Structure formats: structure tokens, C-alpha cells
Structure 1
């Protein structure tokens, strides 16, 4: 994911998990401790972003 998408990813994670350890620009996250709903929302976000990128690449070639 590009850096400009990180705030959206963090928003998804923080929605249900207030205990993120953050030190400066780094965030420590135990992915196994996340709720299933959070993992599915992250999966949806990343999958849709990838589809968008692929779609944009195809448009450049037409």
C-alpha cells in the first residue's frame, strides 16, 4: 500500500482497537489480536484498492 493510504488503514484498525502502540512514525500491531470484522474490513479495503489500481493500469493501455 502506498503511504497515502495508511491513514485509512489505521482508521479501520482503530475503529475497534484503541490499544495501538505508537512510537513516532511506527505502530506496533499484533495482527492475530485483531477482531475478525477488522480483518475482513482490511481485506475488503486492500482488495478494492488493488482492483482500482489494476483498472487504472488497463485504461492507460487503451
Structure 2
């Protein structure tokens, strides 16, 4: 999700982009002190909220979710 075009990210401001970005580093490291906290946050809060907002965004802006070449 972090590689989305800026226009797509700007079109979905309700998503917690900061939360997604904060998870990237601990999850990429694969071990360490912050991994368990990051996993708990991801599973308990970030993923469910992101999926909910993606569903709402898809209903409101279906063109953002088309899988077609430019």
C-alpha cells in the first residue's frame, strides 16, 4: 500500500496512512522488540480499519480500484 500513487493516497484520506507506514519498519525487520506490538496493532486495529475504509472508498470511488493498464 505504501507504493500507491500519491493521487490514489490523496483520494482516500480516511485511511490511516501514518499507521500503515509505522508498521512497515517493525514488520520488515521480522524480529525484535517492536514486532509483537506492531503485530498486535496491525491485527487488532490497523487491518480491520483499513479494510473497512477500503470497502467504503471502493463504493464511493470505484475507478480507483480498476485493474486495467493505463
For this structure pair, what is the TM-score category when the shorter chain's length is used for normalisation?
Answer: 0.3 to 0.5
Higher strand content, 1 or 2: 1
Q: What TM-score, normalized by structure 2, do the two folds share?
A: 0.40
Q: What TM-score, normalized by structure 1, do the two folds share?
A: 0.42
